Amino acid sequence: MSISNDDVTKLIQDSFPDATINVDGDGYKYETTIVSAAFEGLNTLKRHQAVYAAVDSAITSGELHALTIHAKTPDE
């Protein structure tokens, strides 16, 4: 069982409504770039934790197995 790129995008968009999100995946391994002002003042670990929290339901269900995250602020 896997999750679509659109579904991963929606999960992230629900937590970061102002974000520009790009998700690329093959049904097992996914990569996402998220640009959001919500990341201002957060270090890389805190940014990743916030994104993982957004997709936790898909990870817990086993639909999402691997996610590479590039989380940036609009100025980066």
CATH of domain 5-72: 3.30.300.90
Mean pLDDT of 25-51: 95
Mean pLDDT of 12-28: 93
Mean pLDDT rounded to a whole number for the chain: 94
The encoded tokens of residue 22 equal: 């790009």
Mean pLDDT of 61-65: 89
Q: What is the pLDDT of residue 76?
A: 93
Domain residue ranges in the chain:
5-72
The encoded tokens of residue 54 equal: 């957004």
* Cβ neighbours, 10 Å, residue 33: 15
